[in-house]
Chain A
C-alpha cells in the first residue's frame, strides 16, 4: 500500500474534477461535455515552450487518431499570459487557427485546473477514462520517448496507453516523465 502522498495533484485511479474553461472559439468547455465518450486526453500545453512546440504536430495527430475511437484531445494552457505574452488568449486563437486544431484549446484563466490535476510542466498529459460519467485518471506523463525527433521515437507511451484502455486493459507504463517548461504562475 503506497504511503499517502501529500503532494498536490492526481494519481492513477483518482476521479478528475470537472472544469469549465473558455475555448479559443469563444465557447466554454467542460469535461461533462464528454459524457458520451470513452474518455478524454487532457494535455496541458502552450504556445511558447519549445517542448510543446516540438510535440504540437504529434498532439494534432493523436487527436486525429483517437477522437473517432472515443478519446478526443482537450488542450489546456496553464500559463499566466501576463508572464508569457506569447501564451495570451489572442495568441492561442491564432495558433489554433494557423495549425487547424481539431480539438479545444482552453485557457486555465484562474490557474486552478492545472494545480488540481498536478500538472508541473508543459506538455503534461492526463488520460481520463469515462466510467459512468466519472472521469478516472488512467495515465499521467509524456507523449513518447523523443521530444526532438518524431522519426526516432521508439516508445509511443500515450498512444500505447490509449490503445490499452480501448482494449479494456490498464496502460503500462501508467506514469512517465519528461523534460518540459515549468508552468508560469505569479503565485509560485
Chain B
C-alpha cells in the first residue's frame, strides 16, 4: 500500500512538472509531414532556421533570431526554429536550450534521417550544412546556407520583404 502511495505521489509530481515545462516539442519524423511549414499561403513572412543544440555557429547566431522576433512581435513575421537534434533526450536538450536563450519563437524538431530525399525540397541551393535559413512569403523564397549576424538578417528582411 505504501508503494502505491509513493507511486501516486511520483505520478502527481511528474504531471505537475510536465505541465510547468510545457508540452513536448513537436517532432516530425517524416519530412512529408513537416513540409507544410515551408509552404504556408497567408500574408506572413516565415523565417525557418535550421539548427541544433550542439552546433556552435547555430548557437552563436541564435540571439539574432531572438532579437528579430522581438522587433517584429506585433507584425506578420513568424520564426520557426527547426532543430535537427537527434539521439537521446532531444526533448530535454532542446527545452533546456530554449530556456537558456530565452526563446519564445516556435521550435520544432525535424528528425527524418533520409535527408537526401528532402534537402532539395527545402532548397536546391542547400548542400546540407547547418546553420541554414529559409525566408519566404507567398511571393518570394530566399535560402541562406550561412551564419547570420543580426544586421544581415534585418537587412534581408527590410530590403527583400514587405511585412505588414
Contact = CB atoms under 8 A, between A and B. Distances in A.
Contacts of A145: 113-117
Nearest to A176: B116
A35 interface: no
B120 A177 contact: yes
Given A50-B54, A179-B119, A182-B57, A121 B113 contact: no
Nearest to A141: B116
Given A146-B113, A152-B113, A177 B119 contact: yes
Given A145-B113, A145-B116, A149-B113, A179 B87 contact: no
Q: Is the interface of B mostly helix, strand, loop or mixed?
A: loop
B32 to A, nearest CB: 15
A145 B111 CA distance: 13
A141 B117 CA distance: 13
B116 A178 contact: yes
Interface residues of A, number: 23
A183 B86 CA distance: 20
A181 interface: yes
B120 A179 contact: no
B128 A146 contact: no
B142 interface: no
Contacts of A146: 113-114
B127 interface: yes
A91 interface: no
Interface in B91-140: 111, 113-117, 119-120, 126-131
A120 B128 CA distance: 8
Interface in A54-110: 84
A142 B127 CA distance: 11
Contact of B127 (A50, A120, A157): A120
Interface residues of B, number: 24
B84 interface: yes
Interface string A146-162: 11110010110100000
A141 B127 CA distance: 9
Q: Is the interface of A mostly helix, strand, loop or mixed?
A: loop
A181 B116 contact: no
Contact of B129 (A50, A141, A154, A181): A181
Interface in A22-51: 50
B125 to A, nearest CB: 10
Contacts of B131: 182
Contacts of B8: none
Interface of A: 50, 84, 120-121, 141-142, 145-149, 152, 154-155, 157, 176-183
Given A50-B87, A179-B129, 19 more contacts: A120-B128, A142-B128, A145-B113, A145-B117, A146-B114, A147-B115, A148-B87, A148-B113, A149-B113, A152-B113, A155-B114, A157-B116, A177-B126, A177-B128, A179-B84, A181-B130, A182-B131, A182-B145, A183-B129
Interface of B: 52, 54-57, 84, 86-87, 111, 113-117, 119-120, 126-131, 145, 147
- List 9 A-B pairs, minimum CB-CB distance, nearest first: A182-B129, A121-B129, A120-B127, A146-B113, A177-B119, A176-B116, A145-B114, A179-B115, A177-B128
6 contacts: A145-B116, A154-B114, A157-B116, A177-B127, A179-B119, A183-B129
